[in-house]
Amino acid sequence: MKRPLILILFSFCLISRLAAQKETAAQHDTRMQWWSEARFGMFIHWGLYAVPAGTWDGKTGYGEWIRTSAQIPLETYNKFQPQFNPAGFNADEWVKAARDAGMKYIVITSKHHDGFCMFDTKQTDFNIMKTPFQRDPMKELAAACQKYGIRFCFYYSIMDWHHPDYLPRREWEKNRPVGDADYEKYVAYMKAGLKELLTQYGNIGVLWFDGEWEPTWNQAQGLDLYNYVRSLQPSIIINNRVGAGRLDMEGMTKQGMFGGDFGTPEQQIPLTGLPGSYWETCMTMNDHWGYNNNDKNFKSSKEIIRMLADIASKGGNYLLNVGPTALGTFPRESIERLKEIGKWMEFNSESIYGTKASPFTSTPWGRCTMKTTKGGFRLYLHVFDWPGNNQLLVGGCLNKVNKAFILSDKKHLVLKTGRINDAITIDLPVNPPDTINTVVVIDLKGEPDFTNPPEIVTDFSCLVDTLKVTLSSSRPNVQIRFLVSDTVRQVDTGGVFYKEPFYLYRGCYVNARCFRDGKPVSRTSSRLFIQKIPTVARAVSDLKPGLAYRYFEGEWDKMPNFKKLQQWYFGVVDTITLAPKKRNENFALYFFGYVKVPKRALYRFTLSSDDGSKLFLDGLLSINNDGLHSMQEKSLEQGLNAGYHAIKVEYFQRTGSTDLRLYIEGPGIPKTLIKKEMLFHD
Ligand code: FHN
């Protein structure tokens, strides 16, 4: 290569690398714009794991993790390669199915955790070209996406169970020693493969990293890889799984950590919008990412269409997965749903593409998305529950109405509107045109003037003896009126003006509303607080510090029945800990004894675990956090009298990361890991 050319190339890479770090917020928004406006994409998990199709050794619950979950040795798994011949693969069919469903981009697994490369790479023979198929499906899909106007994107796993330099090894792979594995060589391998993906398949929309959670990967490597990828395609978008700061399946990035360009909630939709963040919920259509021919638990198109509206109403993107077969075809159930979603999108996509999050904190009848218009703004009211009286109430909006109509009505017949205090009324036809989601459009004048109901803030959601209540509104120049009642009540002229926090001493509803100059400007918010009877403390004596535990080993997909297990070890621990474990996979434990609480009050217990766990208080199952899952927490509020209460915590671990935490909070006790001073046993 001539010297000047080398110089130009070097300068380009340097500038691009600097660019990735020096991008302004406005430049970032510009780069994100196509993606943010798209709102809806197709995820495709397709690889060698489609050959066993979820079944191994008589068990049928596997997916793309089959090599590790079923502990299939490398040389056995490699035998799928000469069997992989997806003769039914047709890139145009796949891309048209996505396009016709209203999806604007496709993210496909170029390499999943098993390390098999679904593209023509010179870096390893463990790739699709070295199969009877001998074609590069990524090349064909790139061309089809170009043809049909769909953005083509790659998923790429940092974790790699095949490459000899990847570490750590799977714990169960006793016959695969680390040898002279060199992780830096693996990073070089990753970059070489990514360079092929980013220079030989045209303009790539998104690089969707995954498998970043193992201890060999860190923030610095993530930032370096982010800059490397951006140096090859400066306008590419990269998710937060390039770094090491993701908050598990919740998917957003820990405060202060490098988070790429967007967050990635997985199999879940955030409860509320995440203002100021780009995020995308990825979700399976059934229960597996990779093809499982036994998994018929597909979500209905109704669920999917409503989730699309829910996600868009919170300002997020929806990446819906398809797991193709080893023949290269989409499962019939996936095709059916994509067609039904497409029918809805054909008349309603305007209420999804390019919309912003709802201005309302809640809309009882469905969801809302919005767009700015000349001199005002447009609300798309996604009506799931058609009002019995055929009149839709849009509360807390003081703007004047231009017009309202049903989006799927080609004539855009104008609907009669009116106003009751803060609420706009819209008279609807007797029957909803679409029982899944009818979109009612309403055009409003001027700057948005919304007032959401007051927030009703408490430390707990129920009470034993008393509970402090604080009311708040972010709106300027409003007064809050409230009333306490035995049923849900509208706050009209009644109630009292809120001046300072107050206390509840019994179960009741708190109803609150915002007023301005004596007139209601928001809907009423109502919240029920239940009074709990505290459980009686145990009359016990001669207790010793700590909890007793029992330890077991075996393979389970859910909490075992401990009574039927052979016990391996037992002993006493200071507090809830996995210290007694003798290995990191395929083991179970339970702890039992008493928790001593200082006073009669309501306490919140939070159980967090990977994999499954259960909490029993006074002999009753209080928290069920069972199942194969990454770190997830579940809570319970329990009234307890002062003294000792029986406690038991069950836990099991299959494979992968492992963790167990029990938190307690109560009067004068902020949320904290349960302290050893509170734990005793007989
Ligand atoms: O382990 C992977 C899994 O196989 C799948 O690819 C999902 C999709 O987001 N990501 C990881 C689990 O979080």
Are both 238 and 299 inside the same structural domain?
A: yes
Say if residue 449's pLDDT is above 70: yes
Tokens of 211: 């498998």
Pairing of strands 669-673, 659-666: antiparallel
Residue in 377, 379, 239 with CA at minimum distance from that of residue 309:
379
Distance 283 CA to ligand 1 centre (A): 10
| CA dist., res. 278 & res. 30, Å (int) | 13
Distance 266 CA to ligand 1 centre (A): 8
Are both 132 and 78 inside the same structural domain?
A: yes
Question: Residues 505, 406: contact at Cβ < 8 Å?
Answer: no
Question: Residues 171, 584: contact at Cβ < 8 Å?
Answer: yes
Are both 128 and 276 inside the same structural domain?
A: yes
Q: Is residue 356 part of a domain?
A: no
Are both 161 and 187 inside the same structural domain?
A: yes
Q: Which of 108, 209, 289, 654 has most ligand 1 atoms within 8 Å of its beta carbon, as the pocket-test mutant?
A: 289
Distance 586 CA to ligand 1 centre (A): 21
Are both 336 and 383 inside the same structural domain?
A: no
Question: Residues 125, 366: contact at Cβ < 8 Å?
Answer: no
Mean pLDDT of 496-503: 97
Distance 64 CA to ligand 1 centre (A): 9
Q: Is residue 260 part of a domain?
A: yes
CATH code assigned at 638: 2.60.120.1560
Distance 62 CA to ligand 1 centre (A): 13
pLDDT in tens, 139-194: 999 999 999 999 999 999 999 999 999 999 998 898 899 999 999 999 999 999 99
Enumerate the H helices of 200-300 as residue ranges: 219-232
| CA dist., res. 55 & res. 143, Å (int) | 33
Residue in 371, 237, 384, 372 with CA at minimum distance from that of residue 308:
384
Among 412, 445, 478, give the residue marking a domain's end. Answer: 445
Among 351, 383, 415, give the residue marking a domain's end. Answer: 351
DSSP letter at 300 equals P
Are both 475 and 404 inside the same structural domain?
A: no
Are both 119 and 18 inside the same structural domain?
A: yes
Are both 400 and 325 inside the same structural domain?
A: no
Are both 193 and 292 inside the same structural domain?
A: yes
Are both 470 and 513 inside the same structural domain?
A: yes
Q: Is residue 193 part of a domain?
A: yes
> Within 6 Å (CB) of ligand 1, which residues are found?
45, 64-65, 210, 266, 282, 289
CATH code assigned at 146: 3.20.20.80
Q: How far apart are the first and last CA of the chain?
A: 79
Q: Is residue 300 part of a domain?
A: yes
| CA dist., res. 404 & res. 391, Å (int) | 13
Identify the pLDDT of residue 656: 73
Identify the pLDDT of residue 557: 87
Identify the pLDDT of residue 247: 86
**181-195, 247-261, 583-597: least confident range:** 247-261
Q: Is residue 143 part of a domain?
A: yes
| CA dist., res. 227 & res. 221, Å (int) | 10
Q: How many domains does one find in the chain?
A: 4
pLDDT over 70, % of the chain: 97
pTM of this structure: 0.89
Under 8 Å CB-to-CB from 119, ≥6 apart: which residues?
A: 110, 111, 127, 128, 136, 137, 138, 139, 196, 197, 201
Closest ligand 1 atom to 266 CA = 9
Domain that holds residue 627: 544-681
Q: Is residue 537 part of a domain?
A: no
**357-371, 588-602, 632-646, 656-670: least confident range:** 656-670
621 — phi, psi (to 5°)? -65, 115
- In which band, very low, low, confident or very high, does the pLDDT at 631 lie, cut at 50, 70 and 90? confident
Among 351, 382, 416, give the residue marking a domain's end. Answer: 351
Q: Which of 266, 287, 611, 629 has most ligand 1 atoms within 8 Å of its beta carbon, as the pocket-test mutant?
A: 266
Mean pLDDT of 394-421: 97
Centre a 10 Å sphere on the Cβ of residue 479 and count the other Cβ atoms it contains: 15
Identify the pLDDT of residue 657: 77
CATH code assigned at 465: 2.60.40
Identify the pLDDT of residue 629: 83
Helix (H) or strand (E) segment spanning residue 184: helix 183-199
Question: Residues 659, 576: contact at Cβ < 8 Å?
Answer: no
Preceding omega of 453 cis (within 30 degrees of 0): no
Helix (H) or strand (E) segment spanning residue 138: helix 137-148
Mean pLDDT of 111-140: 98
Are both 66 and 196 inside the same structural domain?
A: yes
Closest ligand 1 atom to 249 CA = 13
Q: Is residue 582 part of a domain?
A: yes
Distance 318 CA to ligand 1 centre (A): 15
Identify the pLDDT of residue 21: 55
pLDDT in tens, 11-59: 444 444 444 457 899 999 999 999 999 999 999 999 999 999 999 999 8
Q: Is residue 361 part of a domain?
A: no
Are both 440 and 460 inside the same structural domain?
A: no
The average confidence (pLDDT) of the chain is 94
| CA dist., res. 547 & res. 679, Å (int) | 6
Tokens of 659: 């963790």
